[in-house]
C-alpha cells in the first residue's frame, strides 16, 4: 500500500492548468525529489496534498483513505505535514510555542497535553539547533532560522509524510550546505516519507532521493529513479540555460 497516491489530479486557476493529470505514488519512508522550473505547479501540488486546494479532477489517497476533499485540519492528524515556500511562522508566538503547536495538533495531538507538547518542542529545538532562540518571537528570526523552525514545527507533528517546499530557496551557499546536511540527517533518522521540492536540480539534495519527479507546465514529465531522471535528456531540455550543476 502506498502512503500517498495521486490519481489523475488536475487543478485549474481560471484558464490556467496549474496541475495537469498528475499520477504519483509515494511509499512510507521514501525520500522523493520533485523538480520543476518556476510556475511548473510544485506548490500547487503540495496545496492539493495538504488540502489548501481541492482538485477539479482526480483523487488524493492517503493510506487507502480518499482525502480528496478532506479539509486541511483533518489531514494533519493523519500524518501530513508541510513547510512553506515563504516561511509562515506564527510571528508573535515564541519559537518554542510555534513548535509546540505542531506537537499539539499533529499526528499524536490528541494524546499529548500542553506540557508534553512543550517538552517535545524543547527536544526538537535542540535537534535543529535553535536553542538560543527558544524564547524569541518567531517573527524576528532570520529567513534561514525561520525555515529551520518550520521544519522543526513540522517534525514535532510526528508526520508520516513531510512536504518541504523549496527548503533552500534564496539561501546563502553556506546555509544551503547546513540545510542539506540537516535534511539528510532527518531523512535517515526519522522514518518518514519526505518530498522535497526544488526549483533547480540540486544534486546535493536530490542525490539522497530514491526517485525524482520532474514537473513541467503542471504535467509530470519524468518519474524515474534518481540517476536515470537526472540524465534524462528531457530534463536537460527543461533546464536548458539553467543552473544544472549543483
Ligand X SMILES: Nc1ncnc2c1ncn2[C@@H]1O[C@H](COP(=O)(O)OP(=O)(O)OP(=O)(O)O)[C@@H](O)[C@H]1O
Binding residues for ligand X restricted to 72-111, rule: CB under 6 A: 85
Cα–Cα distance for residue pair 160/175, rounded to 1 Å: 26
**Given its phi and psi angles, is residue 166 left (phi above 0), alpha (psi -120 to 50 degrees) or beta?**
left
Cα–Cα distance for residue pair 234/222, rounded to 1 Å: 8
Considering only the stretches 18-26, 59-67, 79-87, 203-211, report the one whose residues sit in contact with another protein under the rule CB under 8 A. 79-87
Among 16, 91, 140, 236, interactor with another protein by CB under 8 A: 91
CB 153, min distance to another protein, A? 7
Q: Which does 182 bind (CB under 5 to 8 A by kind): another protein, ligand X, Mg ion, none?
A: none
Nearest C-alpha neighbor of 6 from the set 40, 52, 46: 46
Q: Does 71 bind another protein (CB under 8 A)?
A: yes
- 82 bridge partner residues: 163
Lay out the site mask for another protein across 19-58 (x = CB under 8 A, - = otherwise).
-------------------------------xxx------
Asked if 83 and 163 touch (Cβ cutoff 8 Å), the reply is: yes
Lay out the site mask for ligand X across 30-49 (x = CB under 6 A, - = otherwise).
------x-xxxxxxx-----
Q: Does 85 bind Mg ion (CB under 5 A)?
A: yes
Nearest C-alpha neighbor of 168 from the set 147, 142, 195, 190: 147
Specify the residue for cell string 499520477.
Answer: 23
Q: Is the dihedral of CA 139, 142, 146, 148 positive or negative?
A: negative
Contacting positions for another protein (CB under 8 A): 50-52, 71-77, 81-82, 84, 88-93, 97, 100-102, 104-106, 109, 113-114, 117, 153, 157
Contacting positions for Mg ion (CB under 5 A): 42-43, 85
Amino acid at each position: 500500500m502506498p502512503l500517498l497516491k495521486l490519481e489523475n489530479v488536475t487543478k485549474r486557476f481560471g484558464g490556467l492548468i496549474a496541475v495537469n493529470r498528475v499520477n504519483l505514488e509515494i511509499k512510507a519512508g521514501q525520500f522523493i525529489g520533485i523538480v520543476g522550473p518556476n510556475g511548473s505547479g510544485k506548490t500547487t501540488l503540495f496545496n492539493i496534498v495538504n488540502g489548501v486546494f481541492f482538485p477539479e479532477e482526480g483523487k488524493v489517497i492517503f493510506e487507502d483513505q480518499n482525502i480528496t476533499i478532506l479539509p486541511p485540519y483533518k489531514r494533519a492528524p493523519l500524518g501530513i505535514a508541510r513547510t512553506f515556500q515563504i516561511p509562515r511562522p506564527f510571528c508573535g508566538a515564541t519559537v518554542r510555542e510555534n513548535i509546540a503547536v505542531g506537537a499539539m495538533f499533529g499526528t499524536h495531538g490528541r494524546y499529548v497535553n500542553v506540557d508534553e507538547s512543550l517538552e517535545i518542542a524543547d527536544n526538537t529545538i535542540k535537534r535543529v539547533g535553535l536553542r538560543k532562540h527558544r524564547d524569541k518571537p518567531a517573527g524576528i528570526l532570520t529567513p534561514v532560522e525561520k525555515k529551520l523552525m518550520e521544519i522543526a514545527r513540522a517534525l514535532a507533528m510526528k508526520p508520516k509524510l513531510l512536504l518541504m517546499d523549496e527548503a533552500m530557496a534564496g539561501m546563502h551557499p553556506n546555509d544551503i550546505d547546513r540545510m542539506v546536511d540537516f535534511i539528510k540527517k532527518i531523512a535517515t533518522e526519522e522514518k518518514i516519507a519526505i518530498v522535497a521540492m526544488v526549483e533547480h536540480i540540486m544534486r546535493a539534495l536530490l542525490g539522497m532521493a530514491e526517485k525524482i519527479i520532474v514537473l513541467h507546465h503542471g504535467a509530470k514529465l519524468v518519474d524515474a529513479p534518481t540517476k536515470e531522471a537526472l540524465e534524462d535528456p528531457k530534463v536537460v531540455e527543461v533546464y536548458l540555460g539553467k543552473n544544472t550543476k549543483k
